[in-house]
Amino acid sequence: MPIVSAKNLRAYYIVDVYGFKRTVKAVDDISMEINENEILGLAGESGCGKSTLMKVLLGLVIAPLKVLNGQVIYSFNGFEKNIFELSEKELENLKWEVFSYIPQGSMNILNPTRKIGDTFFDFMEPHMEKFDKKYVREIIIQHLGNLDLPAEILESFPHQLSGGMKQRVTIALATILKPRIIFADEPTTALDVVVQRDVIQLLKNIQKNSKNTIVLVTHDMAIHANLATRIAVMYAGKIIEIAQTKDIFKNPLHPYTKYLISSLPKIGDKTYKKSIPGAPPSLANPPEGCRFHPRCPEAKKECSESVPELIELETGHKVACFRIN
């Protein structure tokens, strides 16, 4: 039973300035399911719509982003509702307790004039029935201990912490209310490799210990290989392939995924890495048919005419390509 299922999601950025209308089709007809107890990786290059998809899944739809079609159904413990039909109050209740969000560049969201401890209190207060500072402090310290963070950081200001430490603090904030799903947008980007390795480990441990779900957005395939259990590959606003991590890396089916995997450089491997020809399309004006066909070496006539659907080939391995059927 999936905890979140998206059906025929269509979310566009619609900008209308002085009669000049521009539509960016960032999420175009996406259906997917997020299961309990998994780390789902959303892969794709910058501008392919992966961050937008994550925001829509969270119900974080702020103009100019607009959901034109589709639903996102959250189901757990008998609760089953479309996130777009929830009242503001209901949505507030879901936030942080059912799902939490680690936005991109989140290490810079901490209020520079407040101590980390105060940020934790501010964060916890609306979620507690009776706010007892001493009791809440104990919860926080215990939680930090679980994540191997020293309790002293509660007395620090953000500028006194390193980038990696701040990132760990935001992860601690996002997980303190034990959410069922954690949405993490590029949680390791802009960190040095050694710190990145530690943050990867931290996310892995959180998932292992609380058996919840992590949805991970990153463009870095190596991070996906290390963390994700299942990967959805996005290209120009669509999911083109979704499968277990092993299948994506060892047996990619879509030509784009094939290129993506084979072009990854590795230490100890000096063989020539071919790059993908052409450039990704603009989402304001995507090509007709399969959006990859102008760059695809195996494109046929029908690829430029109609859009291939995401079809399940083997159990759990779905791909949207006319060549493979």
Answer yes or no whether residue 148 interacts with another protein by CB under 8 A. Answer: yes
Answer yes or no whether residue 226 interacts with another protein by CB under 8 A. Answer: yes
Q: Which residues contact 207 (CB under 8 A, 6 or more apart)?
A: 37, 39, 213, 214
Name the minimum Å distance from CB 214 to another protein.
Answer: 15
Q: Based on CB atoms, which residue is closest to another protein, 130 or 270?
A: 270
Query: Which token pair is 76?
Result: 């757990």
State the DSSP string of 206-226: HHHHH--EEEEE-S-HHHHHH
Query: Which token pair is 177?
Result: 């209310």
Answer yes or no whether residue 175 interacts with another protein by CB under 8 A. Answer: no
Q: Based on CB atoms, which residue is closest to another protein, 100 or 167?
A: 167
Dist. CA 97–CA 252, nearest whole Å? 36
3-state secondary structure of 88: helix
Backbone angles phi, psi at 217, to 5 degrees: -105, 125
Answer yes or no whether residue 66 interacts with another protein by CB under 8 A. Answer: no
**CB–CB of 35/229 below 8 Å?**
no
Length of the chain measured in residues: 325
Instruction: Write the interaction track for another protein spanning residues 33-62; mark x where CB under 8 A is met and - where it is not.
Output: ------------xxx---------------
Q: Based on CB atoms, which residue is closest to another protein, 111 or 201?
A: 201
Name the minimum Å distance from CB 22 to another protein.
Answer: 13
Site for another protein in 245-274 (CB under 8 A): 245-246, 249-250, 256, 259-261, 263-270, 272-274
- Part in contact with another protein (CB under 8 A); list of ranges 50-58, 94-102, 207-215, 243-251: 243-251
Binder of another protein out of 275, 301, 315, 325 (CB under 8 A): 275
Name the minimum Å distance from CB 152 to another protein.
Answer: 12
**CB–CB of 116/157 below 8 Å?**
yes
Beta-strand pair 230-235/238-244: antiparallel
Answer yes or no whether residue 12 interacts with another protein by CB under 8 A. Answer: no
Name the minimum Å distance from CB 184 to another protein.
Answer: 15
* 297 backbone φψ class: left, alpha, beta (φ>0; ψ -120 to 50): alpha
Whether residue 103 is preceded by a cis peptide bond, meaning omega within 30 degrees of 0, is no
Nearest to 145 by CA among 196, 96, 102, 205: 205
Answer yes or no whether residue 294 interacts with another protein by CB under 8 A. Answer: no
Answer yes or no whether residue 197 interacts with another protein by CB under 8 A. Answer: yes
Dist. CA 124–CA 75, nearest whole Å? 24
- Part in contact with another protein (CB under 8 A); list of ranges 65-73, 104-112, 158-166, 209-217: 158-166
Q: Rule CB under 8 A: which residues touch another protein?
A: 45-47, 148, 162, 164-165, 192-198, 200-201, 219-226, 245-246, 249-250, 256, 259-261, 263-270, 272-276, 279-280
